[in-house]
Structure 1
Amino acid sequence: MRQVDHTTREKLLTAAERLLLESGYERVSIRAVCAAAEANPAAVHYHFGSKEALVAALLQSRLGPLWESSMDGLDRSGATVAQCVAAVVDPLAELAADPIGRLHIRLLARLVLARQDLGFTARWFSLEPFVGLLLRRYPAMSEAEARTRWMLAFDLILGQFGAPLAADRVLSARTVATLCAFVTAGLSADQES
């Protein structure tokens, strides 16, 4: 039974990804995802609970591996703030060069910027590890300040890469470097090295 559940879950994720790429978030219904996956009309609700949770699961499965290895390595190495920012931004810059990658970034931006609690379970889809990285680098900074700085950083990063009105705009290497420098400065402002 678990294998059938896993297969149905994967079919739903794959169907949702294809439909979202073809039609956009607003035009894709739960019913359409179930039909495209050849699943019971209630399958999305059973496996995910909602359209937003389906999209969150899709993003975790597709984007999570991009951050896990690089961020986990930085977490253990005592990396600089600039290295942490680059580890977040560099995969987004790579993804932005591909239509499916741009879809993932736009969906991530939509969910994160809406401040919805979607129950992300992957470690690097939460602010907590990022806050921890910043606090280890700047122990005098309060947790609330570190959280606010990272929220603003992600707002800016996702706004640049995932702006819904940006169409197929791809940021230049120079713009990405400037974005990284700007975010790094904001995260580390008024802190001693």
Structure 2
Amino acid sequence: MAEKLSTGTRVRLLAAAERLLLTERYDDVSVRAICAEAGANPAAVHYHFGSKDALVAALLEDRLGPLWADRLSAVTAGRVPVADVVDAVLEPFVALVDDPVGRLHLRLLAQFVLGRHPALWSQRWFQMTSWVGLLPELSEGDSRRRWELAFDLIIMRFGGAGAQEREMSRAAVAALREFVVAGLTAPSKEKK
């Protein structure tokens, strides 16, 4: 019984945070407001998640993780071209930008990630360590930097400031894809 109540409170906190964060800026939403919206004890966020950042990371993983998990696991099961991996990353972004709630999730993702909120991601494809090995010809540091830049660019284009006004036509998505693939696959200038 206590576990059901705990799970129920966790779900209510995620839903309350989502409602608030989809209409307000990340920095303008307080832990107290999330607890009040969820009808939960003021300490519930800290009990269930540890912090507001951890709650938002859990929310983003819960809402967006399933869009990438199977697709990326399948495409990276063997040695595949980087372009195939980039396609698997971009496809959900393209679908999300066409959906009003999806656009709001992208805006939240951009606020959170581009705002450099530290997160303890738990799902595989939210952790940078899952990506660095996909560029085996580069050092771990160079691979990490390139993936970070690629994700910053993708997230900014789809969810960052002004993204709602920017058209993401097929041509724009194709150009973004080519640019990201070129950046990830360019020869390394790093000295070994």
Where do 1:62-73 residues align within 5 Å? 62-73=63-74
Show the counterpart of 2:159: 162
Q: Where do 5+ consecutive residues of structure 2 fail to align? A: none
Name stretches of at least 5 consecutive residues in structure 1 with no aligned partner: none
* Amino acid of the structure 2 residue aligned with 1:88: V
Answer yes or no: is the 8 Å Cα contact 1:81–1:188 preserved in 2: yes
Q: Does 1:182 align with 2:175?
A: no
Residue 78 (structure 2) pairs with residue 77 (structure 1): yes
1:144 is the counterpart of 2:141: yes
Amino acid at match of 1:164: A
Seq. identity, %: 52
Per the alignment, in what secondary structure is the counterpart of residue 174 of structure 2? helix
Q: Deviations over 1:137-159 (max 9, x none)?
A: x3xx2111111111111111111
Deviation at 1:114, TM superposition (A): 3.1
**Normalising by structure 2, what TM-score?**
0.90
Structure number with higher helix proportion: 1
Report if the CA contact (8 A) 1:96-1:170 is conserved: no
Change over 3 Å in CA distance of 1:143–1:23 after alignment to 2: closer
Q: Distance in 1 between matches of 2:16 and 2:116?
A: 25
- Aligned partners of 1:168 and 1:10: how far apart in 2? 32
SS in structure 2 opposite 1:76? coil
Provide TM-score, normalisation by structure 1: 0.90
Root-mean-square deviation (CA, aligned residues, Å) is: 1.6
Distance 1:54 1:170 in 2: 31
Equivalent residue, structure 2, for 1:173: 170
Aligned to 2:29, the other structure's residue is in SS state: coil
Larger mean CA deviation between 180-189 and 99-108 belongs to 99-108
- Give the letter for the 1:47 counterpart: H
Deviations 1:38-68 (A, max 9, x none): 1111111111122222111100101111110
